[in-house]
Amino acid sequence: TFYPKGEEPKHELFSRALAQNYDLDIPPGEDEVRHDSYHPFTNNVRLTGFQPHLHNRGKRQCIEAILPDGNTQTISCATWDFGWHIVYNYADEVAPLLPAGTILHVMGWHDNTATNRYNPDPKNWVGFGNRSIDDMSFAWMSFFHTPEEVYQEKLAERSRLSSE
């Protein structure tokens, strides 16, 4: 839509809420309550940005890649502050490159105690919901699909750069 006539974008950028966890169980007065969720990538992808999404009781969110060979790679961790919804954009030379078959593992932590300044009522159990007084846990990710030949070229280029 915004490109000049006849000019095509190099990539189709996707921005998606991935690994949404609808099964939150945050007991009253509990800190460090962890929930895990997963999203499979069926194509090679290059991640361009990560934005944690939690609500009032959110504390921290980390994402890792479970690679097809079973190895894991921590990608990002961010402390959550309900007053700041920050997108962490990756620099081109370090943007995660993930092969098809990778599973994105999202780990979210919640704090349902009185020491959490955003917590409206630490005496209540909290579960998933769309209201801010409920909670959520998912990763808002920006990425594009990478054809196999481009994926392999980028891996080789990074390998060369890291050995210099």
Does the pLDDT at position 69 exceed 90?
A: yes
141 and 20 in contact (C-beta within 8 Å)? no
Phi and psi dihedrals of 163, rounded to 5? -90, -10
* pTM confidence score: 0.91
Distance CA 75, CA 115 (A): 29
Does the pLDDT at position 161 exceed 90?
A: no
Tokens of 69: 């060979």
Does the pLDDT at position 125 exceed 90?
A: yes
Model confidence at 145, pLDDT cuts 50, 70, 90, reads: very high
In sequence order, the 6+-apart residues with CB closer than 8 A to the CB of 87 are: 49, 50, 51, 140, 142
Return left, alpha or beta for 59; rule: phi > 0 is left, psi -120 to 50 is alpha, else beta: alpha
Amino acid at 17: A
Model confidence at 65, pLDDT cuts 50, 70, 90, reads: very high
Give per-residue pLDDT as tens, 12-40.
889 999 999 999 999 999 999 999 999 99
Residue with the larger pLDDT of the pair 8 and 141: 141
Give per-residue pLDDT as tens, 35-56.
999 999 999 999 999 999 999 9
Give per-residue pLDDT as tens, 96-122.
999 999 999 999 999 999 999 999 999
Phi and psi dihedrals of 157, rounded to 5? -60, -45
Long-range pairs for 1-4 at CB < 8 Å and ≥24 separation? none
Distance CA 47, CA 148 (A): 15
